[in-house]
Amino acid sequence: MSDDTAPPFEDMETPGAIDEDAILKATLEEPTSGRRWRAFGRNKAAVIASTFLVVVLLVGVFAPLVATHDPNDATLSDRRTGVLTDGYLLGTDDIGRDMFSRVVYGTRTSLLAGLGTVVAALALALPIGMLAGYHQGWVDNAFMRFVDALLSIPPLILVFAIAGTLGPGLFNAVMALAIFFVPIFVRLIRGEVRSIRRSQLVEAELAVGVPTGYIMRRHILPVIAAPLIVQASLAVGTAILAETSLSFLGLGVMDPTASWGRILKQAFNDIQIRSWPLFLPGAAIASTVLAINVFGDGLRDALGRVEG
């Protein structure tokens, strides 16, 4: 007995059938990079922070155009002038140098220190972390024992010991701070690479003889890029603070080079006479590091929201 109410065969939904509409939608879907930018753009605080950082970067790059005086030009007759006095926007320091111009040039120095530290640390940590996470075994054990040894030393003692051994100067301060950041990046890279190394795709390509270099470039580097960029952006702020501390203590940038740490030190030495110059480099340091941290948090949230 036939059932006339039964749906025709072509209208029945077959398990595992291909949904052409879903395929078309996926094909036309916005690229991942576009979705990440949209997610980041919805974070107003991160957008404001990134705009502020662009301004800071431009000030550092075009410091000769922004500064109103030579930052190292000392005029003893104009010592310790006030704000908006005798053509000095923010007054002068204890030997008559323009405070505004020194803060502007200090922006360049601090940005070079922060960015240079992270780039140097990544250059050292990336091959170590990738080799340790990919090959594992004795290679992993050898590298990680070295990393564990560095992590066992208190950070301040490690940085001060390296900076004191190398001597003062911007380059030496960057190298000392880079060595401090290397173990942090190595552990992050190693953990990400280990998880990708165990994936079925990588195992299949190894089984058919795909070169290791191709696998690292094609499958590992693109995946670890996102968390590495977030960690690097946050590390820039920490590096700027650390360089400022080294310069304040006389282990980083030295006179006559302008840096926020040196300006802060000179203002601190003059605190018995006047205290307001302390707020100039202090505000520059605090606002820049805060903007970097907010930018890094927004970047991490955007990447996590898209990947999740």
As for how many domains the chain has, the answer is 1
Cα 271 from chain centroid? 33
Residue pair 150/179 in contact (Cβ under 8 Å)? The answer is yes
Residue by residue, pLDDT tens for the chain (308 residues) are: 445 544 443 444 444 444 444 433 443 344 566 676 777 778 889 899 999 999 999 999 999 999 988 888 888 888 888 887 877 888 888 888 999 999 999 999 999 999 999 999 999 999 998 888 888 778 778 888 888 888 888 887 888 888 888 888 889 999 999 999 999 999 999 888 888 877 778 778 778 877 877 888 887 888 888 888 889 988 999 999 999 989 998 888 888 888 999 999 988 988 888 888 889 899 999 999 999 999 988 888 877 644 44
CATH number of residue 178's parent domain:
1.10.3720.10
Q: Write the burial class of residue 65 (CB in 10 Å: 0-12 exposed, 13-18 middle, 19+ buried).
A: exposed
Tell me the CA end-to-end span of the chain in Å, nearest whole number.
52
- Could you give the CA distance from residue 213 to residue 98 in angstroms, rounded to a whole number? 53
Examine residue 50 and state whether it is found in any structural domain, yes or no.
no
> The domain containing residue 211 runs over which residues?
105-299
- Which residues, 6 or more positions from 107, have their beta carbon under 8 angstroms from its beta carbon? 56, 59, 60, 63, 260, 284, 288
Residue 173 in any domain: the answer is: yes
Tokens matching residue 151? 């992590």
Q: Which two tokens stand for residue 201?
A: 């795709």
Residue 9 lies in a domain: no
For 291, residues 6+ apart whose C-beta sits below 8 A from its C-beta are: 49, 50, 52, 53, 56
User: 110: closest CA among 212, 260, 5, 4?
Assistant: 260
Q: What are phi and psi of 246, to 5 degrees?
A: -65, -45
Residue 67 belongs to some domain of the structure: no
Residue 56 lies in a domain: no
